[in-house]
Structure 1
Amino acid sequence: MSVTDSVYDYRYENGRRYHAYSEGKYPVPNDEIEKDRLDLQHHAFRLTLDGALYRAPIGKDIHHVLDVGTGTGIWAIVFQEHPSAEVIGTDLSPIQPTDVPPNCSFLIDDFDNDWVFRQQFDFIHTRAMVAAMKNWNRFLQQAYDNLKPGGYLEVQDFAFPPLCTDPSVTDENSPLLRWSTLFLEAASRIGIDGSSPLKIGPILRETGFENVECKIYKWPVGRWAKGDKMKLLGKFAYEDLQDWLPSSCLGLFTRVLKWSRDEVEVFLSTVRRELKEEKHRHFYARA
């Protein structure tokens, strides 16, 4: 089905472009800079899993798959590795390509609304939703209700704050950790808990999911880690963070903390300087 023209009436703010459907709900841009970042991040997630798209023990003959918060649609498109699967990707923004495999389709939808699908799913996947998720309980319940018996849900996400290998580094002497603290503060004011991915294990069990497995991966920010894989992952994480800094806070800091765009840009310059110059400070993200 074709989307209505109104979803393309994007909002422009501080030199960035934001979604129109459910306007203002997701404080992160949907422009070309952000699309490139999401595609780069996709490769970082695959590298983390040694090239795999997921960890769930799903079969090769899987049929119905849902990708919530599909972004550019890259995960859903690559899932054509399973030719038997029909994949639906949902997102607030129509930023997915139109030339896609015949078994892949996209739907402009708000996952906070009631889910109305014609079928239940064998596999539901979601990734990097920490800056969008206000109610994990409702989301996980809807996922549970829309899974076939024996189906799988996989949640891949980040948890704030980032950590440093040097315990003496705090948000008082580190611009990066100060950014994280400010992000958490601003996000909490609009109902988002940036540390929530670390807490969803018990919610999954309370919802009714069985055989729940939780695993934390570390992404080094920069090429300081040992081993070819971790050095490459660190390069991806560094580039991802460089673009995520303005994406994460231009909207939040100006709307919620009432900073000016200039104040945000000056502050982010100190964060970038730290990441570039403070080589003895080894930061890493948790995914």
Structure 2
Amino acid sequence: MEYRTIQGRTYHSEKHNSKYFTPNDEQQLQSVDITHHYLTVLCEDKLFLAPIPDDVQKVLDIGTGSGIWAIDFADQYPNAEVIGTDLSPTQPLWVPPNVKFELDDCTQPWTWAEDSFDFVHMRYLFGAVTDWDELLRQAYRVTTPGGWVQSCEAEVEILSDDGTVLPDSAYNQFWNMLYREATAKVGVPFQVLSDDLQRRAFEEAGFEDITIRDYKFPVGGWPQDRRLAEVGQYVQLTMLNDVEGYTLFLWSQVMGENAPGYQEYLAVMRRELRNRKIHGYMRTRYVYGRKPKAA
């Protein structure tokens, strides 16, 4: 509970991962919940893509954040025991009886015994994990033989296929620049998709039946496809709700804590987020694999 404070925003305790870049306050947790919704819509109202059995018994949700995925999963699978972990106790107290939350740092050695969980779920850990191979080795160890592990990650660079994200836009000079340069400054990789960290880590850990599903999700409601337009509107909402929370720590690390121009870039970024003539999108990748039954 000894949170750090940076310009009025609270972040995880120094005792945990002090370099993690997003706040843990209510404003950021609202964006976490909106993110959960747009990813569910993107996946056609599915909470996960791995082919887990209907009688799944024990489930682990790494980096649970607000706990919304674990709560929704527990509601859908009332016979399963669901454990959600995070660096801060920011989850609600009023939850289904089959879900509980624990404080844990997934970058440290995992404390669960081998073959403990039928399904391990991880989502949006970019900027938090230095060693993806070790992360998936730990997930492999605690998964039951025949059980599944799923990882969902985003490439946070905003792109366009029609040239509407211009080189001098805030998308490029502010958002993309911060995330491109953050890896060297913070020491944690942000280009999870570009560096193919998920797939390689699944293969190195020994998973089989590895499946990769790539998606583009729009920033804003500009697509003609109704479902993608809905996804884009929620992506826009989560960023407008807390574009500061996604960039404040990175700005202080990359540009310097008192470097001028931050508020000006935020204002331009918000204008671009509302501009339907800019057809920006980001990429997300789902990777899931099964631990061999003979393991």
Higher percent of residues as strand: 2
2:293 maps to none
Q: Aligned residue for 2:156?
A: 160
Query: How far apart are 1:262 and its partner, in Å?
Result: 5.7
Structure 2: runs of 5 or more not aligned: 285-295
1:16 is aligned to 2:12: no
Corresponding residue for residue 251 of structure 1 = 249
Q: How many residues align?
A: 278
Structure 1 SS opposite 2:106: coil
Alpha-carbon distance in structure 1 between the residues aligned to 2:124 and 2:182: 18
Aligned to 1:111: 106
Q: How well do the aligned residues superpose, as a CA RMSD in angstroms?
A: 1.7
**How far does residue 203 in structure 1 lie from its aligned partner after superposition?**
2.5
Structure 1 gap segments, 5+ residues each: 1-7
Question: Are the aligned partners of 1:69 and 1:92 in contact in 2 as well (CA < 8 Å)?
Answer: yes
Please say if residues 69 and 127 of structure 1, whose CA atoms lie closer than 8 Å, have aligned partners that are also in contact: yes
SS of corresponding position for 2:211: coil
Please tell me whether residue 52 in structure 1 is matched to residue 49 in structure 2. Answer: no
Identity of aligned residues (%): 35
In the alignment, structure 1 residue 61 sits paired with structure 2 residue 55: yes
- Residues 223 and 230 of structure 1 are in contact (CA less than 8 Å); yes or no, is this contact kept in structure 2? yes
> Is 1:285 aligned to 2:279, yes or no?
no
1:184 offset after TM fit, Å? 2.1
Matched residue, 2:127: 131
The one-letter amino acid of 1:17's match is: T
1:160-185 Cα offsets, whole Å, 9 max, x none, are 32211223744x32211222122220
Q: Which residue of 1 aligns with 2:31?
A: 37
- Whole-Å separation in 2 of the counterparts to 1:188 and 1:215: 28
2:193 equivalent in structure 1: 197
- Equivalent residue, structure 2, for 1:75: 69
Name which of structure 1's ranges 153-162 and 34-43 shifts more when overlaid on structure 2: 153-162
In the TM superposition, what is the alpha-carbon distance from 1:244 to its structure 2 partner?
Answer: 4.6
Question: In the TM superposition, what is the alpha-carbon distance from 1:271 to its structure 2 partner?
Answer: 1.5
Q: Does 1:242 align with 2:240?
A: yes
**Whose RCO is larger (CA < 8 A, sep 6+)?**
2
Give distance in 1, aligned partners of 2:81 and 2:248: 37
Q: TM-score, normalised by structure 1?
A: 0.91
1:154 counterpart SS class: strand
2: CA distance between counterparts of 1:86 and 1:58?
A: 14
What's the CA shift for 1:23? 5.3
Aligned to 1:268: 266
Matched, 1:184 2:180: yes
**Runs of at least 4 residues off by over 4 Å:** none
CA distance in 1, matches of 2:28, 2:185: 23
1:280 Cα deviation (Å)? Answer: 2.5
Query: What is the DSSP-based 3-state SS (H/G/I as helix, E as strand, rest coil) of the residue aligned with 1:50?
Result: coil
Question: Are residues 1:224 and 2:222 paired?
Answer: yes
More off after superposition, 176-185 vs 205-214: 176-185
The answer to whether the 8 Å contact 2:64/2:86 transfers is yes
Q: With the length of structure 2 as denominator, give the TM-score of the two structures.
A: 0.89
Which residue does the alignment assign to 1:4? none
Q: Distance in 2 between matches of 1:114 and 1:258?
A: 33
More divergent stretch after superposition (17-26 vs 222-231): 17-26
